[in-house]
Amino acid sequence: MTLVPRAIKRPRKTFAKTGSLAWLTFPALLFFLTFAALPLLGVVVLSFMNWDGIGAITWAGLTNWISLLQDPVTGSSLWITILVVLLSVLVQGPISLLLGVFSAGRQKYRAVLSVLYFIPLLLSSAAVAIAFLSLLDPNFGLSAGLGLPFLKQNWLGEPGLAMGVVIFVLAWQHIPFHTLIYQGGVRQIPASLYEAAELDGANRIQQFFQITLPQLKYTVITSTTLLVVGSLTYFDLIFVLTGGGPGYATRVLPLQMYLTGFRSNDMGAASAYGVILAFLGLTLALILQRLGGKSRQSSQLEGQ
């Protein structure tokens, strides 16, 4: 029984062994090229075109880019995007790390808390935004419930406050995911390292900085990369929560692109925003990869 197929398949086996398994990637490649890679080239092409989204596409040359660079909203949305990325990393990163370490603990109550921490991850951005919209209502929301007047602010009406709210709600929504990543990372640290440290008399804080943090180096890089690239694409939550307002205070690049393309029917200029966004994403990813590459070599030494 086994001899027959073996005899038949031998030639094909060597064929496979030489590595012509590329055909297995073709279905994925077809999807990826058609709906991700080619659109990426398409966005560059369209940024030199005039298109209202319905009619014919005509050559525009540099007009989109020139008007884009002259528009003060471009600079402000670029700055706001970078601000959102920076603040998100600074707020979400450390909290996720600490919560990850906390929830990796084996105590019973921590296991229960971790179950609840996970819930925001299940909600859509639209749901989260709507929940916070009503929670922040000055008359019927949290401030009225707690009777704390300082919570009674025009949260989404003041530029600075609105930005703070956006950062907070983004953190509320995304920290659970990064907490999970860190929790998994912490659980892979060998227990013997801690036992050795305790015998040496290291206290909890020393253990955190001397063992946990160095051992989590890869995890920090993974989480931060996902966080940075992800925070460039925070669109839906901001769209529903503030709509980019008040004024232009929370209008990030993706939002500016959407509004230009689908509200002002200027797909050419919107594509130019798309190019900026893609460029920003690739640049940040490359920078992070560089940083990651360096520490990848040294982490082996420092971790011990």
Site for other proteins in 9-38 (CB under 8 A): 9, 12-13, 16, 18-25, 27-29, 31-32, 34-38
Binders of other proteins among 167-206, rule CB under 8 A? 172, 176-177, 180-185, 187-188, 191, 194-195, 198, 204
Query: Are the CB atoms for 233 and 254 separated by under 8 Å?
Result: yes
Binders of other proteins among 257-276, rule CB under 8 A? 257-258, 261-262, 267, 270-271, 274-275
Q: What is the gyration radius of the CA atoms in the chain, in angstroms?
A: 25
Residue 296 interacts with other proteins (CB under 8 A): yes or no: no
Residue 146 interacts with other proteins (CB under 8 A): yes or no: yes
Residue 78 interacts with other proteins (CB under 8 A): yes or no: no
- Give residues with Cβ within 8 angstroms of 261, minimum separation 6: 53, 267, 269, 270, 271
Q: How far is the CB of 160 from other proteins (least distance, A)?
A: 21
Of residues 62, 75, 90, 140, which one binds other proteins by CB under 8 A?
140
User: Is 47 exposed, middle or buried (CB count within 10 Å of its CB: 0-12, 13-18, 19+)?
Assistant: buried
Give whole-number Cα distances, 118 to 91, 100, 179, 243, in Å: 18, 11, 9, 27
Query: Are the CB atoms for 269 and 68 separated by under 8 Å?
Result: yes
Query: Are the CB atoms for 274 and 47 separated by under 8 Å?
Result: yes
Binders of other proteins among 91-130, rule CB under 8 A? 95, 98-99, 102-103, 105-107, 109-110, 113-127, 130
Residue 301 interacts with other proteins (CB under 8 A): yes or no: no
218 or 248, CB closer to other proteins?
218
Residue 58 interacts with other proteins (CB under 8 A): yes or no: no
